[in-house]
Amino acid sequence: MGYKFQKMKKYFLILILTMMFCGFCAAQNTNAFKSWNPIKDTLNVIQGRGWSEGFKSAYDRLPASAEKKVRKAVWNLSENSAGLNLRFRTNATNIVVKFAVKAALQMPHMPATGVSGVDLYAKDKDGKWLWCAGKFAFGDTISYRFNHISGTDQQVKDREYTLYLPLYNSLNWIEIEVPEESNFKALPVYPEKPIVVYGTSIAQGACASRPGMAWTSILGRKLDRSMVNLGFSGNGMLEPEVLDYITQIDARLYVLDCLPNMTGPAMKDDTIRKRIANAVTMIQLKRPGAPILLTEHDGYSDGEMQPMRKTAYERVNALMDFTVDSLKKAGVKNIYLLSKEEIGQDIESMVDGVHPNDLGMMNYAKAYEKKIKEIFNEDEGNYSSMIPRTQRRDAATYDWETRHQEVLKYAAAQQPEIVFMGNSITHFWGGLPQAAVANGTKSWSKYFGQRKVLNMGFGWDRIENVLWRVYHGELDGFSPQHIVLMIGTNNLESNTDEQLLGGLDFLLKAIRSRQRESGVLCMGILPRRGMELRISNLNKKIALIVKKKGMQYADAGTLFLNSNQKIEESLFSDGLHPNENGYERLGKFINSRISLKK
């Protein structure tokens, strides 16, 4: 009995070990990873650079030709990857980032996570930013492991990420790894004019706890715009050699934030005034019409205890104010000033009396956000319908970002006479840019085919998404005679009537501010199954908003209702989107309300 028991125990032990070994092998197969090296990609994928080529190293911030033209200290700092980032999409639940840097991992006043670390953010399907915490290890090879993250977002089968690179170190190499079975798509550099920041250590990112907390990174997310970080620690001095390179960049806005490096006794009053005026002149000569934002010194958090330091920043700020005021009186346009008071630093917002901590970085970002939105004429409200956002809710059908670029190119090339703005009801009707789905091509061709018409419909768009598109140039650079707006149905399930109406009012204001001469036809929301009464009541309120703005309103709802005031199902494909018969009625209705001037 004892012998048999021992024999059975031996066999059982062997069985357990075999199962464990097989499980280990299976785990090894499951944990196989594939890697992506950005510099080996055929696309230009390194975001945040002011140039697309000509670099000594791929992660430099100035082109190679600058090495012999700017001071050595500036060149060395330009090799730091501050502000650079990588964008990609993946459905991976585990993401590993490995890289090596060239210099010391940390500084006495700034942790390794800020000096030499990376930082991963995601955008959800509704355009909201999310943050990913990673387990990091610093050594000759630095690794960040983002484990057990949500790889999908409801109906969207992947997520979009932005990886910020180190602020105060230079990369030797970097790779991103995801499980072998995962999807991975690198995103090319976003083709829009960036905001260019020329500044000091504060702009470069000292002393953020991690790269995503540098104020330029925060601001880029808040504005949803590309940023070029040309902050040079201790060396932002409005030098002509650096400005000559900055003016090579076709920017949406130039930010000059150099005063913290210009407080020393070697910087005489006359020198500071001349450098400020010369910087404005150089930029406006090469980039006429581009706005320039000049920034005061943000102060020292111990200024009240160190009178000499307080006097130093007050001196340079007075010189900045005097110079900007003189330039404006001389007729110089498109220059703006961000004051110390607007930045709002205090005794809690700096690490060492000079460099912001994360709280100070947020103060900077909020101040810049408010000022830049004023410059760009981009109001924002309190409701979600008033906050411009991107979206990827219909990613299975089309790529929202790609369609935005197609719309911009079509508008610039064709100078359309009529623009249709809206959601999937417009997007999948017909016309150009061509969509993967078109349910009303006959009626579109019949009523609009002989005209220069641009279809700016985007599937699943809400009011806030159209607002983003308006703020990002879709109505710039041409003068349509008519703009037809059909938007709001996708807000019905996420917003109250008050929020929807507030967002629409916001959007109409944004459209009118960019197209003052165009006729605007705002359509009532089309009836949809189960919401007929709510939509009917909403449309009465929409009509009042539109008419108060001096715009044209029209409601095609009755064409789609039966005698019981419910939708006529034969005109819809799904209770929401018109079929060809429905589009025929809609096309005839709209066509009768717009006419082109000869």
Instruction: Encode pLDDT of 28-74 as tens digits.
Output: 445 799 999 999 999 999 999 999 999 999 999 999 999 999 999 99
- Tens of pLDDT, residue by residue over 116-141, are 999 999 999 999 999 999 999 999 99
- Beta carbons of 426 and 456 less than 8 angstroms apart: yes
Predicted confidence at residue 36, as pLDDT, reads 98
Average pLDDT over residues 234-238: 98
3-state secondary structure string across 249-295: CCCCEEEEECHHHCCCCCCCHHHHHHHHHHHHHHHHHHCCCCCEEEE
Q: Which of 192, 254, 222, 176 is nearest to 47 (CA)?
A: 192
Q: Report the alpha-carbon distance of residue 322 to residue 328 in Å, rounded.
A: 10
Predicted confidence at residue 6, as pLDDT, reads 54
Question: Percent of the chain at pLDDT above 70?
Answer: 94
- Tens of pLDDT, residue by residue over 149-206, are 999 999 999 999 999 999 999 999 999 999 999 999 999 999 999 999 999 999 999 9
| Mean pLDDT, the chain, whole residue set | 95
CA angle 237/243/248 to nearest 5° reads: 155
Cis omega (within 30 of 0) for bond into 433: yes
DSSP 12-44: HHHHHHHHHHHHHHHHHHHT-EEEE-GGGSSS-
Q: Report the alpha-carbon distance of residue 542 to residue 408 in Å, rounded.
A: 28
Between 3.10.20.30, 1.10.10.60, 2.60.120.260, 2.40.70.10, what CATH number should domain 30-71+82-188 receive? 2.60.120.260
* 393 φψ region: left (φ > 0), alpha (ψ -120 to 50), beta (else): alpha
* Domain boundaries along the sequence of the chain: 30-71+82-188, 192-376, 384-591
Q: Report the alpha-carbon distance of residue 120 to residue 231 in Å, rounded.
A: 21
3-state secondary structure string across 200-239: CHHHHCCCCCCHHHCHHHHHHHHHCCCEEEEECCCCCCCC
Does residue 9 surpass a pLDDT of 90? no
Q: Cα dihedral sign for 399, 404, 405, 409? A: positive
Average pLDDT over residues 459-473: 98
Q: What pTM did the predictor assign?
A: 0.94
Average pLDDT over residues 554-581: 98
Q: Is 449 helix (H, G, I), strand (E, B) or coil?
A: coil
Locate 375 and state its tokens. 């410059």
Q: Report the alpha-carbon distance of residue 394 to residue 488 in Å, rounded.
A: 16
Predicted confidence at residue 356, as pLDDT, reads 98
Does residue 16 surpass a pLDDT of 70? no
Average pLDDT over residues 144-151: 97
Does residue 3 surpass a pLDDT of 50? no
> Which residues fall within 8 angstroms of residue 369, CB to CB, at 6 or more apart?
219, 222, 223
- Tens of pLDDT, residue by residue over 510-528, are 999 999 999 999 999 999 9
- Beta carbons of 315 and 303 less than 8 angstroms apart: no
Where does the pLDDT of residue 11 fall: very low under 50, low under 70, confident under 90, or very high at 90 and above?
low
Q: Report the alpha-carbon distance of residue 373 to residue 219 in Å, rounded.
A: 11
- Tens of pLDDT, residue by residue over 398-433, are 999 999 999 999 999 999 999 999 999 999 999 999
Does residue 27 surpass a pLDDT of 60? no
Q: Report the alpha-carbon distance of residue 53 to residue 64 in Å, rounded.
A: 9
Which uninterrupted H or E stretch holds 318? helix 307-329
Locate 477 and state its tokens. 């650079």
Residue whose tokens read 């408010």: 370
- Beta carbons of 251 and 194 less than 8 angstroms apart: yes
Q: Where are the beta strands (DSSP E) in 284-342?
A: 292-295, 335-338
Where does the pLDDT of residue 21 fall: very low under 50, low under 70, confident under 90, or very high at 90 and above?
very low
**Domain 384-591 classification at class level:** alpha beta
Give me the residues paired with residue 161 across strands. Answer: 88, 122
* Residue 211 identity: P
* Residue 276 identity: I
Q: Is 145 helix (H, G, I), strand (E, B) or coil?
A: strand
Locate 273 and state its tokens. 């005034």
Burial class of residue 95 in the structure, from the number of CB atoms within 10 Å of its CB (0-12 exposed, 13-18 middle, 19+ buried): buried
* 299 φψ region: left (φ > 0), alpha (ψ -120 to 50), beta (else): left
Predicted confidence at residue 598, as pLDDT, reads 44
Q: Report the alpha-carbon distance of residue 298 to residue 292 in Å, rounded.
A: 18
What are residue 343's phi and psi, to 5 degrees?
-65, -45
Question: Percent of the chain at pLDDT above 90?
Answer: 94
Q: Strand 142-146 and strand 159-164: pairing?
A: unpaired
> Which residues fall within 8 angstroms of residue 387, CB to CB, at 6 or more apart?
380, 381, 464, 467
User: Reading across the β-sheet that carries 135-137, which strands appear in turn?
Assistant: 33-36, 171-179, 95-101, 142-146, 135-137
- The reply to whether CATH 3.40.50.1110 applies to domain 192-376 is yes
Look at 1-10, 102-111, 188-197, 378-387 and tell me which has the smallest mean pLDDT: 1-10
Radius of gyration over alpha carbons of the chain, in Å?
Answer: 28
Is 192-376 the same fold as 30-71+82-188? no
Where does the pLDDT of residue 595 fall: very low under 50, low under 70, confident under 90, or very high at 90 and above?
confident
Rounded alpha-carbon distances, angstroms, from residue 570 to 40, 567, 577, 584: 54, 9, 11, 13
- Beta carbons of 302 and 309 less than 8 angstroms apart: yes
For residue 352, the 8-state DSSP code is: S
